[in-house]
Structure 1
Amino acid sequence: MTLEIEEALALIAHHIPAVTTHLLPIEQAVGAVLAQDVVASIDLPRFDNSAMDGYAVQLAQAGTVQSVSPTIFAGDTYKTHDFAQGIVKIMTGAAIPQGCEAIVPIEEVTHLEEQVKLPASIKAGAHIRRKSEDIAAGKVLLERGMRLGGYQLALLASQGITHVRTYRKPKVAVFATGEELKMHFEPLQAHNIYNSNTPALLGRAIELGCDVVFVGSAKDDKSDIAHHIHTALEADLVVTSGGVSVGDADFTKGVFGEFGIDYLFEHINIKPGKPTSFGRIGKTWVLNLPGNPLAALINFELFGRAAIAKLSGRKGHFIGTVHTVAHTDFRIKKGRVTVVPGVWDGKGFAASTHYGPGMLAPLIDANAFVILGESVERVVKGTPLFIISMDSAVDVQTMALLVNDF
């Protein structure tokens, strides 16, 4: 049975659980995904404090000349002051004394030797940062499923949190099949080509936050493919390329069948990449991709990226789209749901002019792709499109409409 793209992605979203969890020091948690909510235990700010270098005053002192008490610095313990005796000089971040109703910045007063004259108008609460106005104790600070970056680490540190429970990185094993394939460090014979799929898939998995294992290149031989599968099954996700069509030497899916794979889907209504399949052997998920480079990598961006997002525990694990317009006219052959690579410059999408399933070079410049419905054969400049960016994260919590059909 051939599934639509959205149907296949919905199955991935429904069936794949997150990987196991572990504790990490926050300094090592950049890029990790939280496995539990983090609740604030400390108010931020912890106390009312000055937002400016200036003077702690009361409103009734507006327009008057006042004596100035010694300066309160950030970190000083200073709780009381008799405002009948004058005002207090205060630095940014210092706790305001009891009875203070506003802070007047230094540049807004008139200096008169050892005294200062305050402005005629002072606004209540001016330049005072109130306790807990940023973060209140008891508030959920960070939610489970959030990917941690530098700014999130700042919030954790503000609460005195040293370790967080996160999902471990998914482990992804990659291998390709093909008698003709050689790795880039091996010499080529006349009938050989270099295996470009495996380094690309390994690289993308690393970019998506995974630990990776290079299993190798399998020959078009059932026993060799079986050896590679056996080696790969310790991973959370196995990604293969090649051997999934119906050629005389396409053994990959058959050998996976001997391992008892339970497929969620075996064919997708997509061009290129119809033979793409996805299933499970025990606790290991398996994505079988076509051997043609562009077909393999485009389908990995759709289905591999979605699987990794679910394994990672991301709260938002669906692929998002960007609404834009076509920069140029372009044509495709109608009759199949078709993926077209191209460049999105923030203003519009320019489709690649020369590409095919077996090509690699179009993906070097491409940073996005558009999916066009079966009835589409021409897109004119200015046509509204929703495209998928390969640079942006998978972080949408509901499935977006992916296929442009007009």
Structure 2
Amino acid sequence: MAKVPPIPLTEAQARLLALADPLTVEHVDIEGSVGRYLAEDLQARRTQPAADLSAMDGYAVRADDLAGPWRVIGESAAGHPHEGALASGEAVRIATGALLPRDGNVVLLQEDIARDGETIRFTGELPSPVDKHIRRCGMDFELDSMVLAAGTRIGPAQAALAIAAGHKHLPVRRRPQVAVMDSGDELAADPELCALHQIPASNSQMLAAMARSLPVDAKRLGPVPDTMDALAQAFAEASDSDLVVTSGGASVGDHDLIKPALEAWGAKLDFWRVAIKPGKPILVATRDLPMRRQVIIGLPGNPVSSFVTAHLFVLPLLRAMLGAARPLPARIRTRLGAPVPANGPRQEFRRALWDGEVVVPVSEQDSAALAALASSNVLIDRPANAPAAAAGEDVWCYPLENGGIA
């Protein structure tokens, strides 16, 4: 039987995101919504501002009475409006954010006013247009207008907008339950007790931390030995998870047992092997549960491969489950600060450091080099069969939330 070639990244991501069943909707308070994604469009329950307000400190007068002088008949402060209307020849002292008095539709800046007792005269240039210093009713948004679209991630500004629009609670998807599993006989659970033939089990910590950058609940399993019984027990512990992420054992060696263990667990393989470097032996499978579908992503065991594939697959899938409008990672265009060699037949993601102006690949690109990964803050996206690129050429990069020096 002919060997099936690895599939392109864009196809693999599209197939994966098609498996993202929307999670159930819950309503949470504004504080609890930060970092989550709106499940529905959000309409304003009020108009903002609800009336005409002053945008500056000064004096409110009538637009048909701009010659002056004027007699100051009162004051309007934020939260303490002036009662009554303005007649010809009258003015009201007004503060930024304060309600304009009735019939007051021009604000004269206080620095353009000469005051003598209760009489003021204008010494500057009239505002143009005359309502320049007024925040009109509905300037920000109006009742029933859409203020936030479904799929928007709620940050500090979005939370403030939702409150201003009259909301105490927001509709969001429930938090996905994620199980992250290290597998391999070479893994030591305790990094302080690691024999020469072992390596510390760091991938599950790394992957769980990446998952927790989103509003998910992640638990770690393992390290799991390379036996079918041990894998079966670990998968049983993950039976109720929405997403299971494994690290290691997804390749074709004699001890790579993830695929047969998943089949024995009742999972169905969707695709295996993607034409990227690092991370080619990634696999995606599904398992039917009552009323929902469980997704399993098997990542390579080398830590850099695991990190890169989690960035390109695990995080986008979780964003899609949470209802993100744009689940795929964002790219930036920047200039190379050093040359990069020609690329091979697989799309490659080179670890690099971006200083805000140019990007320079780190010297060590081995897929097991954690020190090089930890010193990187972007991945340079090199298309398959790309020619060598010189310093000064533009490249696409994926920014990483990867710690490092602030």
Contact 1:368 1:387 in 2 (8 A): yes
> What is residue 138 of structure 1 aligned with on the other side?
144
**Equivalent residue for 1:342, pick from 344, 352, 362:** 352
Q: d(CA) in 2 for partners of 1:295 and 1:73?
A: 60
Q: Tell me which amino acid in the other structure corresponds to 2:122.
A: L
Equivalent residue in structure 1 for 2:304, among 287, 294, 302: 294
Deviation at 1:390? 1.7
Higher mean C-alpha displacement, 270-279 vs 53-62: 53-62
Task: Tell which deviates more after alignment, 76-85 or 52-61.
Answer: 76-85
Task: Determine the structure 2 residue equivalent to 1:264.
Answer: 270
Range 76-85 or range 346-355, more displaced? 76-85
Q: Shift of residue 277 of structure 1? A: 0.6
1:104 aligns with 2:108: yes
Contact 1:63–1:119 (CA under 8 A) maintained in structure 2: no
* 1:309 match: secondary structure: helix
Distance 1:154 1:288, change over 3 A: same
Alignment partners' CA distance in 2, 1:390 and 1:120: 52
Match for residue 75 of structure 1 among 56, 79, 84: 79
The count of corresponding residues between Structure 1 and Structure 2 is: 392
Partner of residue 54, structure 2: 50
8 Å Cα contact 1:63-1:121 kept in structure 2: no
Match in the other structure for 1:253: 259
Amino acid in the other structure paired with 2:203? N
Q: Structure 2 unaligned runs (5+)?
A: none
1:88 aligns with 2:92: yes
Aligned to 1:285: 295
Task: Please report the RMSD computed on the Cα atoms of aligned residues, expressed in angstroms.
Answer: 1.9
Q: Deviations over 1:271-323 (max 9, x none)?
A: 22211111111121111011111111111111112211111110111232111
Task: Report the AA paired with residue 235 of structure 2.
Answer: I
Q: Provide the C-alpha distance between the structure 2 equivalents of 1:77 and 1:113, rounded to a whole number of angstroms.
A: 22
Cα separation, 2, equivalents of 1:46 and 1:200: 48
Contact 1:243–1:249 (CA<8 Å) still a contact in 2? yes
Query: Aligned-pair distance for 1:197?
Result: 0.8
Over 3 Å counting, the alpha-carbon distance change for 1:273 and 1:36 in structure 2 is same
The counterpart of 1:34, out of the listed 31, 38, 51, is 38
Q: 1:391 to 1:192 in 2, by over 3 A?
A: closer
C-alpha displacement at 1:119, in angstroms? 3.5
Compute the displacement of 1:99 (Å): 1.7
1:363 pairs, out of 367, 373, 386, with 373
Partners of 1:360 and 1:65 lie apart in 2 by: 75
**Separation in 2, partners of 1:333, 1:100:** 69
**Unpaired segments ≥5 residues, structure 1:** 393-406
Q: Quick check: 13-22 or 219-228, which moved more?
A: 13-22
> What corresponds to 1:150 in structure 2?
156
Structure 2 match to 1:221: 227
Secondary structure in 1 aligned to 2:353? strand
Q: What's the TM-score, normalizing by structure 1?
A: 0.91
Matched, 1:319 2:329: yes
| Distance in 2 between residues matched to 1:95 and 1:376, nearest whole Å | 62
User: Residue in 2 aligned with 1:176?
Assistant: 182
- Shift, 1:333, TM fit: 5.8
Deviates more, 1:137-146 or 1:93-102: 93-102
**Matches of 1:269 and 1:107 in 2, distance apart?**
67
Q: 1:30 to 1:40 in 2, by over 3 A?
A: same
271-280 vs 39-48, which deviates more? Answer: 271-280
Shift of 1:378: 2.3
Contact map agreement 2:86 2:101 (CA 8 A) in 1: no
Q: Report the AA paired with residue 375 of structure 2.
A: D
For residues 130 and 335 of structure 1, do their structure 2 counterparts lie closer, same or farther at Cα, with a shift above 3 Å needed? closer
